[in-house]
Amino acid sequence: MNSEWRKRALVLLSTLLLSAASFAQTNEIATDGSSAPLTLTLNDALIRARANEPQYRAALTRYGVARQAMVQSRAGLLPNVNYNAQFLYTEGNGTSTGRFIGANGVHEYVSQGNVHQSLSLQNMAEYRLARAQEALAKANAEIATRGLAVAVTQAYYGFVVAQRKYGIAQRAASEAQKFFDITQKLEHGGEVAHADAIKSQLQLQQQQRALQDSQLEMDRSRLELAVIIFPGFNENFTTVDDLQNIQPLPSFQEAEAQAGQQNPQLAAALAAMRAANQEVAVAWNGFLPSLGLDYFYGIDANNFGANGFEIGTRRPVRNLGYAAAARLDLPIWNWGASHSKLKSAHLERDQAKLELSFAQRKMVADLKTFYSEAQISRSELDSLRSSADLSAESLRLTTLRYQAGEATVLEVVDAQNTLTLAQNALGDGQVRFRVALANLQTLTGTF
């Protein structure tokens, strides 16, 4: 009985090990890209791009550095506590102090805690400057976030439409091949001239070249998107064609209100202006005095201990105690350096004022431009879709009329080209609306 159970246990263990090996092998295949392609939505692509796009990550890094600089500047306003320990030895000469005139004894032990506080209006101005620079870096990080959304949207739907155009080119090449076969049959039957067969053959060659170009464009757009969203080189993915889902636009008044509250370009200009004002304040405080306070508690004695004795008399003394020091620094003359810093700060503040005024004007102009672009591109989608449907029906009817001897070969070729252009225009129009919407949201935020 025990041997039978042992066999069953070994079989079960072997099964588990094989399952684990199979699972690991499956994961390895999925990692190296030989499994089924990864399906990505636009939101998936945005999430991946935020983790891998270097310029966006650089903006976040600058924001993180600015935030830490603000923390360090704030720490400069608060008391600091340090501990220092020191041993000094001086060569003896028979006296209580030793050979060096600055020595306090042959042996000197220092073990102290030090509380230091620096009081300066310049430190406060530098802290406010660090806060303004943090706000500026935060606004620039938001600009990078929204700019990345535009870039990913353009690359993502550019690849979607490139795939569509490749399918359209395949359809066009197939129709050209069928029409070429029809003209050859009609020519052999003496129903059409040889010129019709030549024209249909030229159309077939043109569509075959267009098919090759569309495949090249599809591969290029795939690589462009892959570089943005993947940390390693990976082409094994597909996208979701959701261009038919048309997002409604808010009213212009609503978009204007959102832009006034959530426009990162304007926020960055305002933060730059505040930073420039604080630069002036820092420069002005360079003319003002500063005060430093230090409080020490511990020992600074000729023997290491809380209690000791006086050298020479051997009288007991208490070593443990405190001391305090105050220092006032008053700038008097530095060859015009402080005045030069103040002048530079004024120049930068004037430039910041100019850039703020320009940012306010540009926000109004960009808002109107982006909103009009989104509104018009959205309104054209129904017309583009109708044109594609009509072109498909026109090609079908024209081909039937040609087979009945009622249309010319030029009419058929023109109908084929018109259908290809109409279908490509529909895809381009849908991408145009999505990119216009993303551009508008760089000013307003999501809605």
Residue 127 pLDDT grade (very low, low, confident, very high; cuts 50, 70, 90): very high
Give domain status of residue 131, yes or no: yes
Same domain for 402 and 300: no
Mean pLDDT of all residues in 296-317? 84
Distance CA 327, CA 277 (A): 29
Residue 34 pLDDT grade (very low, low, confident, very high; cuts 50, 70, 90): low
Same domain for 263 and 127: yes
Which residues fall within 8 angstroms of residue 128, CB to CB, at 6 or more apart? 278, 281
Residue 230 pLDDT grade (very low, low, confident, very high; cuts 50, 70, 90): very high
The total of structural domains in the chain comes to 2
Distance CA 140, CA 71 (A): 19
Same domain for 186 and 295: no
Which CATH number belongs to the domain containing residue 314 in this structure? 2.20.200
Least confident of 43-47, 51-55, 128-132, 243-247: 243-247
- Residue 306's pLDDT is 87
Mean pLDDT of all residues in 299-314? 81
- Residue 317's pLDDT is 87
The pTM for the full model equals: 0.80
Same domain for 293 and 391: no
- Residue 28's pLDDT is 35
Of 330, 349, 384, at which residue does a domain stop? 330
Same domain for 245 and 152: yes
Mean pLDDT of all residues in 383-407? 94
Give domain status of residue 160, yes or no: yes
- Residue 23's pLDDT is 37
Give domain status of residue 13, yes or no: no
Using a pLDDT cut of 90, give the percent of the chain over it: 74
Same domain for 416 and 437: yes
> Which residue, 352, 193, 346, 357, is CA-closest to 279?
346
Same domain for 375 and 233: yes
Distance CA 271, CA 208 (A): 56
Give domain status of residue 376, yes or no: yes
- Residue 312's pLDDT is 64
Is the pLDDT score of 146 beyond 50?
yes
Mean pLDDT of all residues in 229-254? 92
By CB atoms closer than 10 A (0-12, 13-18, 19+), residue 336 is exposed
Same domain for 271 and 217: yes
Same domain for 175 and 109: no
Same domain for 344 and 359: yes
Is the pLDDT score of 390 beyond 90?
yes
Same domain for 312 and 270: no
Q: What is the pLDDT of residues 193-220, one digit of tens each?
A: 899 999 999 999 999 999 999 999 999 9
Distance CA 368, CA 371 (A): 5
Mean pLDDT of all residues belonging to the chain? 89
Give domain status of residue 129, yes or no: yes
Query: What's the farthest any 2 CA atoms get from each other in the chain?
Result: 139
- Residue 101's pLDDT is 80
- Residue 4's pLDDT is 53
At 88 the three-state DSSP class reads: strand
Residue where the block lists tokens 């990119």? 435
Q: What is the pLDDT of residues 70-97, one digit of tens each?
A: 999 999 899 999 999 999 999 888 777 8
Looking at per-residue pLDDT, the higher value among 286 and 356 belongs to: 356
Q: Which domain holds residue 348?
A: 121-288+338-447
Same domain for 269 and 148: yes
Give domain status of residue 44, yes or no: no
Mean pLDDT of all residues in 419-433? 96
- Residue 102's pLDDT is 80
